[in-house]
Amino acid sequence: MSHKYLLDASALLALLQDEAGSEIVAHYLPFCAISSVNLAEVASVLNKVGMPENEMDELFNEMDLDILPFNKELAIATGGIRRLTQKKGLSLGDRACLVTAKHSNRIALTADRVWLDYQKDIDLEIKLIR
């Protein structure tokens, strides 16, 4: 199965927390991958609300997501768009997702509308869940 989309943490959290846009994420989930950086963001939120690591592991295993590694090339490219995105306050995780989507030729799936401002500059497609 082709993983055409890359999940941002905001999209996966919308699904897990049954927020607006969760039905869109559920629809695209079989076609999604996620960066290890964004998975760490989701795990951090789940830890904050009290989910033990073993339950997170089970949850992520059940979701059967393709988890993309974050390497030196992606790290440098993520740092390389810092100045471009600082006006709108994009986080490290946001930038990591944008760069990973571009480098893996995937469509970024997110709840963060502000990302649309960078679609042309970064040269990637972004799909909003809400």
Q: Look at residue 34 in the predicted model and tell me its pLDDT.
A: 98
Q: Look at residue 60 in the predicted model and tell me its pLDDT.
A: 97
List the structure tokens of 33. Answer: 């991958």
Q: Look at residue 61 in the predicted model and tell me its pLDDT.
A: 96
Phi, psi dihedral angles at 5 (to 5 degrees): -115, 155
Residue 23: CB partners within 8 Å, gap ≥ 6?
A: none
How long a stretch of residues is the chain?
A: 130
> For the chain, which residues make up each domain, given as ranges?
5-128
43/57 Cα distance (integer angstroms): 9
CATH number of 5-128: 3.40.50.1010
Q: Look at residue 118 in the predicted model and tell me its pLDDT.
A: 95
110/113 Cα distance (integer angstroms): 8
Is this prediction's pTM over 0.85?
Answer: yes
pLDDT averaged over 10-residue windows placed end to end, the chain, 130 residues: 88 97 97 98 98 98 96 98 95 98 98 96 96
Q: Look at residue 82 in the predicted model and tell me its pLDDT.
A: 97
Q: Look at residue 3 in the predicted model and tell me its pLDDT.
A: 76
